[in-house]
Chain A
Amino acid sequence: MFGQVLFSGLALGSIYGLVALGFTVIFKATDVFNFAQGMFVVLGAYLAVTAISLLGLPFPLAILFLVIASALVGAVIHILLIQPLSGRPMLSVIMLTIALSIVLRSVIELTYGPQGRTLSTPLPMGVLVVGDVRMSYLHLWAALVSWLCMAIFGAFFRFTSVGLLMRATADGHEAAVVSGVNVNAMNRVAWGIGTTLAAIGGLFLGQLQIASPELETIGLLALPAVVIGGMQSIPGAIIGGLLVGVIEQMASAYISPKSSDIVIYLLLLVILMVRPWGLFGQRELGRV
C-alpha cells in the first residue's frame, strides 16, 4: 500500500513540479506571483482536447500545437497585461493575475461548455506491476515527460545564450539593460516558458482525470509547492512539487480523500509561520 501511494505521489508530484517550475520561471523573471498558473494548466488540457479530438492531429503534432499555442498565449499575456503594469505595486499585479484567471475560465467555458471533456491520447493505458505496486503507464509517462521537460529547461537555462540572458535579467534588471539585454523580450520568453510548462502539466492531468475548469484547483497546488520549496529557487519548485504530490496522496490514502488539499494548505500555513522562505529559498521576505 505504502509503495503504491508513494508511486502515485511521486508521479503526480512530478507534474506539480513541472507546473511549479513554470511558475517560478515567471516569478524570477518578472516578480509576478501568477495566480493564473492554475488556469494555464486548464488551458493546456483544453488545447490538447482541441488538437486531438477537434482538429484530429496526430499525437506528435498535437504536442507541437500545444507547446506553440501556450507559449504564444503566455507571450501575448506578457505584452498586453504584464508589461504595462511593470513597476506597479505587487497587490495590483496579483489582482491582475486573479482577474486574468477569471477571464480565462469564462472564455474556456464559453468556448467548450462548462462540463468537462474527455481527453484521449495514444499514450498506453496498461499497468506495470512491480512487486505489489501497480504502476499505470499513464503515470509513468507523465512523470517521465515532466522530468524530461525539466531537464530540457535546465539545459536551456544553463547552456544557451538566451538562458544566460534570462538568468542575468533575473539577477538584476538594470544591470541587464546596461549590458544590452532586451529585458522585455527575455520576460516574454519567461512567460512563454511558464505557460507552456503549465500547459504540458495540464495535458497529463487532463488525461489522468478529465479536461475541465476544475483542474484549476489542482493546478493551484503549485502555489504551496513553490512556497514550501522556496520561492525563487528552481530546485525548490521541483522538490516542492514532489513533496506536495506525495503528501497529497498520503493524506488521501491514510486520512480521507477530501482532506488532501487541507493537509497541504495547513502545511503551507506552518511553513509561512516557521520558515517562510521555504526549504531552499533565501531570507528576503515578501514585498508589497
Chain B
Amino acid sequence: MEITPDTHIVFTVAGIAVSATVVWTWVVMALLVALSIAMTRNLTSDFAPSRWQNFLEALIGETRRQIAEVSHHDPGPYLPFIGTLFVFIATSNLLIVFPGYEPPTASLSTTAALALSVLVAVPIYGIAESGLWRYLKNYMEPTVFMLPFNVIGEVSRTIALAVRLYGNAMSGVVLAGILISIAPFLFPVVLKLLDLLIGFIQAYIFSVLAMVYIASALRARRGNAVASADAEASSATKQGNQGA
C-alpha cells in the first residue's frame, strides 16, 4: 500500500518522471478550465438563464456571501483566490467516485503547495489593504515581545493547513484500501460516501481558514472602535454562556 500518489510513476518524459499526482492535478485543472469556458460562453441576463448559468450563479453568490460573512469586507478582491481554492479542492476530492482516480490532495506535495499559496497571499492582501508598515506592525501586537510567536504561528498554521487536508484525503484512500482487503464490496462503498462528505467539508474548511487568515491580516486597518466592539460582543457572549 502507498500513502501518497507521488510514488506512482505514470510515465516518463525526457527523463523526468511524471507521477500520478501531477497527472490527476492536470486532469482536474483541464476539467475546471473546460467547464468554466463552456459555462461562461452563453451568459445571458434573461429571466430564464440556462441551468449551467444557474449553477454558476449559485456557486459564485454563495462563495461571495461566505467570504463577506467571514471577513466583514467586500468579497470582490478575495473571490478569485478563495473561490479557486474551494473549487479545485472540492473537485479533486469529489472525483473519487470514479474508479482508478487518485485524488491529488492525498499527496503532501499538492496540499503543501496550496498552503504555501495561502502563506504568500496573506501578506499580499494585508499589504494591499493597509500598507507595508501597518501590516508589519500587526506582528508586534499586542507587544513587541510577541513578534517571534506571531511568526511561529504564521508558519505552524501553514503546516497545519497542509497536513490537515493531506491527512483527511489520505485517510480516505488508505481506509478504503484496508477495508477492500478485509471486507469487500458493501462496506467500502458506504465509507466512500462518507469520504465524499468529508472531502467537501475539508474543501470548505480550507477555503474558510484561508479567508480567516487573510481577514486577520486585514484587521490592521479596521479602526479601534470596531475591534473593541467585537471584543465587547465576544466577552458578552462568553458571559452569557457562563451564566447559563
A-B interaction: no
